[in-house]
Structure 1
Amino acid sequence: MHILFVYPSQADDATNRYRCVHLCEALVAAGHTAEHVSAGQDAVRVAHDIVVLHRLPWGGPGSAFAAAARRVGARVVYSADDLIFDLEHARHTGTLFPDDPLRYRHSKRDAEANLQTLQNADGALFSTEFLAQHTTFVPLRSEERARAGGGQPSQRQGEVIRNFLGTELLMLSQSARERREAFGKLRQDDRVTLGYLSGSPTHDADLADIALPLAAALERFSQARFLVVGTVALPGPLRRFEQNGRVRRHPYVPWRELPGLIAQVDINLAPLDLTQPFNHAKSEIKFLEAAAVGVPTIAARSVALLETKGALLCGTDSEWAEALAAWLSDPETRKAAGEAAFAVLEKHQASTRSGIESVFAAWMPEKAISGSATVTRPRKSKLVGKIFQSEQKYLRRWHYFKRHWRLANEQERHGGGTA
């Protein structure tokens, strides 16, 4: 098999690493040819059996690469790891200000374009069963067979390959885990660090969702500390703990530095604001990254997350309180959970990678591809791309301004003063 993954931005973006770079790595290890490219390149040669369009909207790079794939007889697969192809997504994206009319129009347009790419694909690839079950589509080859007298085209759900860690991150995590274990043997104090590693300020509502049980745990267990990573806002109930030094802030770090930061944590927290349907599509990346360093996770019980050893899933404040108390009060149970998480990760890595080859084999074209086609970015596309990037930049700046204004004026997120 010869497979091309195309994504809209840089390879180091988390979504592109997990859904393109890691899959390429697994396919190459299995003896196939796989490569990944950015849709922003000036020219890309398409001479592959399968072309995977990851989060590419129609009417731009999505349609251009699909057309090139059709010319050579390749199969086209749409790929997504978020609910970006559902028009309802337009109301749920950007949890900072979900009712912002400008953001709504922008997200609705993006969702419509991604949905069109999905509808023009031969197959679909998702990161969770929730995403696969959320939509059906009609593969073009089914339409072609129907026109040829083969009956009505049948609707299909997409295939699922869950996220897994790449080789480089595993190696970095192994080193961090070894350092963590060595340091643990030398520790003389009983401090327990809870950690929330956020990627962006759009996770304010996620952390706020567990503010009350987390504050109660910090109040009850004097040995507990809280590490907050990223630009997420600290909810009102937690602010007094920051004032007395029990909450530590750390800036966002590149992914290669993440294992070393996770190694400073005893319990990894992965809350989600489950009032947003968008969040139910989230996969277990936070669990996997922590498990690689031997750290257990307490997470929100979303539809897409799987019950597993080394993790406690919670759906209510009382469940969060019980889970926090269980691991804060018993270091042996916490240590065993970390070891269980690492064992689960190893099995997950092996089982996920072993199933990748069969998924792509089912998408192989019936006839060998013929020739090649080159996708170039015309001046109009480049101009539209620059306009889109400028609009995105404006939206980010506007939302950051609104967010800072809100945080500067609010007294609390959950009522009752500043604590």
Structure 2
Amino acid sequence: MRILFIYPSQADDATNRYRCVHLCEALTTAGHTAEHVSAGQDAVRVAHDIVVLHRMPWGGPGSAFAAAARSIGARVIYSADDLIFDLEHARHTGTLFPDDPLRYRHSKREAEANAQTLQNADGALFSTEFLATGRGVVIRNFLGSELLSLSQAARARREAFLKQRQDDRVTLGYLSGSPTHDADLADIALPLAATLERFSHARLLVVGTVALPGPLRRFEQNGRVRRHPYVPWRELPGLIAQVDINLAPLDLTRPFNHAKSEIKFLEAAAVGVPTIAARSAALLETEGALLCGTDQEWSDALASWLSEPTKRQAASEAALAALEQHQASTQSGIESVFTAWMPEKAVHGSVTVTRPRKSKVVGKIFQTEQKFLRRWHYLRRHWRLANEQERHGGGTA
């Protein structure tokens, strides 16, 4: 088989790594030819049996690559790992301000274009059952070899540190990629604050630009909440190794979040860290994680692992075992999924898709709009947070 994955941005973006780079690695290991490229390149040669359009909107590059694939008899597959193709949820794409008409218009246009790609594809590939229901097949996210290697080294350092540690301090960690997760952390602010109040040996590490909810601010002032800036993914295992319990809350009032996969659990498990997570529709049930749906469940889960180190250690071992099983079971099914998509007749020839000048101009306009929206949201967010701190008396709870 020859498979080509095409994505709209850079390979290092998390979505492209998990849904294209990692799949290419697995398919190559199985003896197939698999490549991944950015649609932003000036020219891409298409001479493959299957062309996967990952998060590629119709119109412009998306439809151009689909036409090129069909002209040589290749199959076209749509791929997504978020609910970006459903118009009903255009307001729920992780934005800071769901009622913002500018962002809604942008998200609606993106959803319409992705929905059109899905409709015009020969098949569809998703990361969770929530996304795939009635639409396509599932290959769940899994870790690539480089991240596994980095995580193994971080786990060894962590285990050596734990053997030498003299105190009973337990660090809870929330690792966020962007400020769009403000509502997720805020969702567990009350049980988390109550836990820090109850257990004096507990600390909280918050990573990324996520805002610290009001109930937790006083713990930052007395040194029990530590902030750390966002780090590139290759540095992530070393940061996870500083954590004893990984937190993965989600604001489940937004349907968008029910489609989220178990990446946070997988990345923590690879370093030997168990996870307490929101009970969403897409997360795995495993002994290496506790899933919570209410404040009381969050409080009980935190108390269980904070008060009984043996339970926490058992959960760490279970998380690592669950990861190994997940990696093996997920990768074993990849080949059969793509084999089912092989065209009945042999692909003939090749086509080079060049990026027309108009597409470059439109792409730059779209990128400029995205940057504007991002900065606009950040400004609104900072203004909102400043007002909240003023109302709370300079940042206290």
CA contact (8 A) 1:227 1:250 kept: yes
Deviating runs (4+, > 4 A) in structure 1? Answer: 411-414
Partner of 2:40: 40
CA contact (8 A) 2:94 2:256 kept: no
Partner of 1:84: 84
1:418 Cα deviation after fit: 3.4
1:99-248 to 2 correspondences below 5 Å? 99-133=99-133, 136=134, 157-248=135-226
Alpha-carbon separation, structure 2, partners of 1:183 and 1:303: 36
CA contact (8 A) 2:64 2:353 kept: yes
CA contact (8 A) 1:412 1:418 kept: no
Amino acid at match of 2:161: F
Partner of 1:384: 362
Amino acid at match of 1:262: I
The C-alpha deviation readout for 1:272-325, integer Å capped at 9, x for no partner, is: 000000000000000000000000000000011121110000000000000000
Within the alignment, does 1:400 sit opposite 2:363 as a pair?
A: no
Partner of 2:21: 21
CA contact (8 A) 1:78 1:117 kept: yes
Amino acid at match of 1:249: R
Partner of 1:288: 266
Alpha-carbon separation, structure 2, partners of 1:209 and 1:190: 27
Amino acid at match of 2:71: R
Q: Which runs of 5+ in 2 are unaligned?
A: none
The C-alpha deviation readout for 1:150-178, integer Å capped at 9, x for no partner, is: xxxxxxx3010000000000000000000
2:334 aligned to which of 342, 350, 356: 356
Alpha-carbon separation, structure 2, partners of 1:2 and 1:390: 35
Pair 1:54–1:406, CA change in 2 (3 A): same
Alpha-carbon separation, structure 2, partners of 1:191 and 1:309: 23
Counting matched residue pairs gives 396
SS in 1 for 2:333: helix
2:278 aligned to which of 288, 300, 310: 300
1:242-261 to 2 correspondences below 5 Å? 242-261=220-239
Alpha-carbon separation, structure 1, partners of 2:163 and 2:286: 27
Alpha-carbon separation, structure 1, partners of 2:202 and 2:61: 49
The C-alpha deviation readout for 1:28-70, integer Å capped at 9, x for no partner, is: 0000000000000000000000000000000111101000000
1:18 Cα deviation after fit: 0.1
Alpha-carbon separation, structure 1, partners of 2:167 and 2:113: 55
SS in 2 for 1:113: helix
Partner of 1:98: 98
The C-alpha deviation readout for 1:80-135, integer Å capped at 9, x for no partner, is: 000000002211123310000000000000000000000000000000000001xx
| RMSD (CA atoms) | 1.3
1:411 Cα deviation after fit: 4.3
Partner of 1:273: 251
SS in 2 for 1:95: coil
SS in 1 for 2:9: coil
CA contact (8 A) 2:279 2:291 kept: yes
1:413 Cα deviation after fit: 10
Amino acid at match of 1:173: S
TM-score scaled by length of structure 1: 0.93
Alpha-carbon separation, structure 1, partners of 2:245 and 2:89: 31
CA contact (8 A) 1:65 1:375 kept: yes
Amino acid at match of 2:103: R
Percent identical across equivalent pairs? 88
Alpha-carbon separation, structure 2, partners of 1:94 and 1:20: 22
CA contact (8 A) 1:208 1:413 kept: no
The C-alpha deviation readout for 1:341-397, integer Å capped at 9, x for no partner, is: 000000000000000000000000000001001111100000000000000000000
Alpha-carbon separation, structure 2, partners of 1:74 and 1:93: 32
Q: Which runs of 5+ in 1 are unaligned?
A: 137-156
